[in-house]
Amino acid sequence: MNATVTARAHTNIALVKYWGKADTELMLPQTSSLSLTLDQFYTDTTVTFDDQLTADEVTVNDQLLSSEAAKKVHNFLNLVRQQASRTSFARVTSVNHVPTAAGLASSASAFAALAGAASRAAGMDLDRTALSRLARRGSGSATRSIFGGFVEWEAGHDDLSSRAVPLIEDVTWPIAVVALVLDPHHKKVSSRQGMQSSVTTSPFYPAWKQIVADDLDAIKPAIRAQDFTTLGETLETNAMRMHALTLSARPPFSYFNGDTLTAMQTVKGLRAAGLECYYTLDAGPNLKVFCQTADVSAIQERFARQFGSDNVIVAHPGPGIQFLNKA
C-alpha cells in the first residue's frame, strides 16, 4: 500500500542572513543565520510514491510542471529515495500560499514541506533535526522552516553539523511583521545567482562573515530579553549590509525598486514620529516591517494608504512543520 502524506511548512524571514554558500552541493552556508517563522505564508505539499508511475509527477498550484521545471524537485526526491532505499517515482502536489520568487522565502516553505511529506511517504521517520538537514539540501533557508518561532541555522562544516536549532519556538513576545508585497513577480537575479556573485566578486565579502558573527552575538540575547530596540537595529543593519554586497559585486546588481526605497523612508519617518519599527528584506524588493503588536494598526494603515490594502499583510510568529494527514 502506498502512503500519502501531506505536510505544511511556513516561510521564515532571516533577521541575520547568511548570503553565500560554502558548498553548493550539500548547501552548506558560509555563515550561520537566524530567522523568524511566519504564520501567514506557507506551502502544503502532498506526496505519494507509486510503483505504477514511470516518472515523477509534480503539480504546483494546479499546474503540472515539465520535467525541466521539476528538475530541482526530482533531484530532491532522488535524495529521499537514496536515503529510504526506495526506487518508485512519486506524485507531488503542492499549493504555495506565498508569492513565488519575490523575496518572501517561498523556496523555504516549499522544500521544508516537501522534505516532511516525501520522507514520511517513503517510510522514513525523521526527527526534526534530521528533517532540517534534509530540507537544507533542497533550499538552504528551508532548514529553518522545520521549526517555529526564532530559529538559528548553525552553519556547521558538513552534512551532519549543518542544521537548524530552535531558539524560542513558543513566542509570547507581542511582535508582528507587516509584509509589503511591492512586486509579486519573479526576480531577475535568483538568490543562488546573487549569492555566488557576491561571494566571488564583492571585495567586502570577507568582512561579511565577521558582521554575521557579531550580529548573532547581539540579537540572540536581545530576543531572550525581549529587547525590541536591539532586535530591530540589528536586523535592519544586517539587511542593509547584505544588500551592500550586491551593490559591490561585479557587475553590481540590486533587488530594490523605487517602492522599496519609498517604503524604507516611510519606516524611518514612522520611527521618527514615535512608532518604533524596523525593516528587513531578502533577495527581492518586498519589505518586511518588524513592529510591536500595539503599533500594528497604525503601521498597517499607513502602508495601506501608500501601496493599497491588498499589498499589506500582517504576520505573526508561526509554527514549525505540521503533518496534516497520513492515509
The DSSP secondary structure of 117-166, one letter per residue, reads: HHHHHTT----HHHHHHHHHTT-GGGGGGGS-SEEEEE--SSTTT-EEEE
211: Cβ–Cβ under 8 A, 6 or more apart, which residues?
238, 241
Residue 121: other Cβ atoms inside 10 A: 26
Mean pLDDT value across residues 241-247: 97
Q: How confident is the model at residue 114 (pLDDT cuts 50, 70, 90)?
A: very high
Q: Are 103 and 256 in contact (CB under 8 A)?
A: no
Residue 73 identity: V
Whole-angstrom distance, CA of residue 255 vs CA of residue 103: 9
Distances (CA, A) of 232 to 112, 151, 171, 289: 27, 16, 16, 9
Mean pLDDT value across residues 231-258: 97
Q: Which has the minimum average pLDDT: 175-184, 206-215, 270-279?
A: 175-184
pLDDT of residue 191: 87
Whole-angstrom distance, CA of residue 285 vs CA of residue 256: 5
pLDDT at 164 over 70: yes
Q: Is 85 left (phi over 0), alpha (psi -120 to 50) or beta?
A: left
Mean pLDDT value across residues 293-297: 98
Q: Are 276 and 229 in contact (CB under 8 A)?
A: yes
pLDDT at 304 over 70: yes
Whole-angstrom distance, CA of residue 210 vs CA of residue 137: 25
Share of the chain above pLDDT 90, in %: 90
Mean pLDDT value across residues 204-210: 97
Mean pLDDT value across residues 194-202: 96
Mean pLDDT value across residues 158-180: 97
Q: Which has the minimum average pLDDT: 72-76, 103-107, 229-233?
A: 103-107
pLDDT of residue 2: 80
More confident: 269 or 40: 269
pLDDT of residue 99: 62
pLDDT of residue 188: 84
Mean pLDDT value across residues 21-26: 95
pLDDT one-digit tens code per residue, 46-100:
999 999 999 999 999 999 999 999 999 999 999 999 999 999 999 999 999 876 5
Whole-angstrom distance, CA of residue 290 vs CA of residue 280: 8
Give the CATH number of domain 4-171; options: 1.20.1370.10, 3.90.1150.200, 3.40.50.1100, 3.30.230.10: 3.30.230.10
Strand 175-180's sheet: what is its strand order? 278-280, 288-292, 175-180, 312-315
Beta bridge mates, 17: none
pLDDT of residue 98: 79
For the chain, give every residue range classified as CATH 3.30.70.890: 175-315
Tell me if residue 169 falls in helix, strand or coil.
Answer: coil
pLDDT at 119 over 50: yes
pLDDT of residue 187: 78
pLDDT at 101 over 60: no
DSSP string, 211-274: HHHHHHHHHHHHHHHT-HHHHHHHHHHHHHHHHHHHHTSSS---S--HHHHHHHHHHHHHHHTT
pLDDT at 301 over 60: yes
Give the CATH number of domain 175-315; options: 3.40.50.2020, 3.40.50.620, 3.30.300.30, 3.30.70.890: 3.30.70.890
Share of the chain above pLDDT 70, in %: 97
pLDDT at 149 over 80: yes
Q: How confident is the model at residue 325 (pLDDT cuts 50, 70, 90)?
A: confident
Tell me if residue 207 falls in helix, strand or coil.
Answer: helix
CA neighbor of 37 nearest in space, from 158, 170, 155, 162 = 170
Whole-angstrom distance, CA of residue 32 vs CA of residue 157: 11
Give me Rg for the CA atoms of the chain: 19
Whole-angstrom distance, CA of residue 233 vs CA of residue 236: 5
Q: Is 156 left (phi over 0), alpha (psi -120 to 50) or beta?
A: left
Q: How confident is the model at residue 221 (pLDDT cuts 50, 70, 90)?
A: very high
pLDDT of residue 105: 65
For the chain, give every residue range classified as CATH 3.30.230.10: 4-171
Q: Are 323 and 4 in contact (CB under 8 A)?
A: no
pTM of the entire predicted model: 0.95
pLDDT of residue 1: 60
